[in-house]
Amino acid sequence: MKVSREQAERNREKVVDAASRLFRARGVEGVAIGEVMRECGLTHGGFYNQFESKEALAAEACATSLARGAAKWRRLSAEDGPDAITADYLSARNRDAPETGCALIALGPDAARKGGPLAAAFREGFEDLTAALQNAGIADRDAALARMAQLVGTMVLARAVDDPVLSEELLAANRRALGVEA
């Protein structure tokens, strides 16, 4: 059964959104294409009508997720000031929900291992987030890059340690170090 162009576009968006959630939760290699398509209620065969490869989907899912994150940062900063970005990022909510959290945390290792389109999407998204920090008031690029490293590194460690108390200590210590109380 042939679908309209509009329905095909909606289906593509559903696939990208599902892939983004699943890839952030389990990594690109931890998710099969069939699983992404089932999540959307679509057939595995329909995947190749929309995407060249799993790699192309991973790059698009990464780019979409990071673009949404940068838009959120711009909105947070405009509504509540620049510290709102840090408070939101270094939160238990971000730590505890990798499937909806920042793609930098979840897809960094995949981008480094795979290179290619995923790494390019990752780099572009990273640059967009860095620009959002600069627009929020951390105008010096070195300071914005250092803040990015501290935010992402803190969250990687907070997710990785197998100790809820230590995890919360990491988040709180870095919020304080960055002058933000949440």
Q: Which residues of 87-123 are buried (b: 16+ CB within 10 A; e: fewer)?
A: bbbbbeebbeebeebbbbbbbbebbeebeebbbebbe
- pLDDT 10s digits, 70-80: 999 999 999 99
What is the model's pLDDT at position 1?
A: 61
pTM of the model: 0.92
- pLDDT 10s digits, 108-160: 999 999 999 999 999 999 999 999 999 999 989 999 999 999 999 999 999 99
Q: Which residue has the tokens 């959120």?
A: 72
Whether the predicted pLDDT of 20 surpasses 60: yes
What is the model's pLDDT at position 182?
A: 57
